[in-house]
């Protein structure tokens, strides 16, 4: 079963969330979180930090990622590990795979005409809201 990760990256003040606008399918043109594949021989956490660095330039010293949930898609023979973290300091993000931007949190993240994931983005954000103190400890 192929593993993937999704990375919810909050600004230091936790008032913005790093998003990417997809430049290719699936979800062409929609906003999504950054993430990618878990490679053979990697742990999920190792893959999360690797993908974060590759897609945004954010390194492990800048953030502590918390593994907050998983989704298993048996029909697609894959699983997705969801990580969330709050930046320890302001950083410059850069990436070539998708267009990166900081979103304020006053969005309808359940709007599937704007956001990828069939409503999962909204669900993940609500889960972090309910457990926000975990990220504020870092």
State which fold the 2-136 domain adopts: Nucleoside Triphosphate Pyrophosphohydrolase (3.90.79)
Q: Where are the domains of the chain?
A: 2-136
Q: Quote the DSSP letter at residue 89.
A: S
pLDDT tens string 32-83: 999 999 999 999 999 999 999 999 999 999 999 999 999 999 999 999 999 9
Q: What is the pLDDT of residue 137?
A: 81
Report which of 84, 71, 52, 65 is spatially closest to residue 1, judged by C-alpha positions: 71
pTM score of the predicted model: 0.94
């Amino acid at each position: 079963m192929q593993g993937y990760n999704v990375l919810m990256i909050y600004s230091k003040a936790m008032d913005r969330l790093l998003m990417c606008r997809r430049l290719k399918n699936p979800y062409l043109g929609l906003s999504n979180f950054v993430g990618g594949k878990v490679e053979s021989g990697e742990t999920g956490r190792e893959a999360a930090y690797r993908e974060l660095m590759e897609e945004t330039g954010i390194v492990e010293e800048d953030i502590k990622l918390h593994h907050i949930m998983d989704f298993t898609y048996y029909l697609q023979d894959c699983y997705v590990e969801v990580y969330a973290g709050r930046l320890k300091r302001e950083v410059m993000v850069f990436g070539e795979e998708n267009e990166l931007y900081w979103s304020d949190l006053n969005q309808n993240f359940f709007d599937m005409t704007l956001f990828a994931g069939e409503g999962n983005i909204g669900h993940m954000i609500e889960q972090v809201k309910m457990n926000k103190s975990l990220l504020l400890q870092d």
